[in-house]
Each structure stands twice: as C-alpha cells, then as structure tokens.
C-alpha cells in the first residue's frame, strides 16, 4: 500500500493536514480550486508541492469521499 501524500503531524502546522514533506496545507489547494484558480497557479505559489503530489492528493480525497458515501 502506498503512503498517503497528505499527512497530519502535531509537530507540523499544529496537525493540519499537509502535503508530505512540506508545510503546505491540503486545504490551500482546495481553496485555490474552489476560488476558480488553476492547478498551475497553486503550484506557482507553493513550489514545494509538485504536480504529481497535488494530483495524488486530489485522487486520495476523491477515493475517500467515494468510500464514505458508498
């Protein structure tokens, strides 16, 4: 099983779910997309997050939501 790209560690951003290896909250990505910004804009603002990381995180969120409502 692959490790989650989103982690929650009390030592990083007070436990807010962040991209693994960064201090960038996953919520920032959701907020950017919700506001109508592109993934590219998000990645330019948060260069420690790669495109692969962002896509994997969105896929994890999708899978989690679908599992919850199934």
- The answer as to whether 54 is a domain residue is yes
Contact 60, 5 (CB under 8 A): yes
Q: Where are the alpha helices (DSSP H) in 1-70?
A: 26-34, 39-45, 51-69
Q: Find the domain containing 26 and state its range.
A: 6-69
- The answer as to whether 51 is a domain residue is yes
CATH number at residue 37: 1.10.10.10
- The answer as to whether 28 is a domain residue is yes
| pLDDT single digits (tens) 10-43 | 999 999 999 999 999 999 999 999 999 999 999 9
| pTM value surpassing 0.95 | no
| pLDDT single digits (tens) 48-69 | 999 999 999 999 999 999 999 9
What's the structural domain count of the chain? 1
Task: Report how far residue 18's alpha carbon sits from residue 5's, in angstroms, rounded to the nearest whole number.
Answer: 8
- Name the nearest CA neighbour of 57 among 36, 32, 35: 32
- The answer as to whether 60 is a domain residue is yes
- The answer as to whether 1 is a domain residue is no
- The answer as to whether 16 is a domain residue is yes
């Amino acid at each position: 099983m692959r490790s989650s790209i989103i982690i929650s560690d009390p030592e990083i951003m007070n436990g807010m779910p962040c991209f693994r290896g960064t201090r960038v909250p996953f919520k920032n990505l959701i907020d950017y997309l919700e506001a109508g910004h592109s993934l590219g804009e998000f990645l330019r603002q948060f260069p420690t997050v790669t495109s692969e990381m962002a896509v994997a995180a969105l896929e994890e969120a999708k899978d989690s939501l679908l599992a919850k409502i199934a």
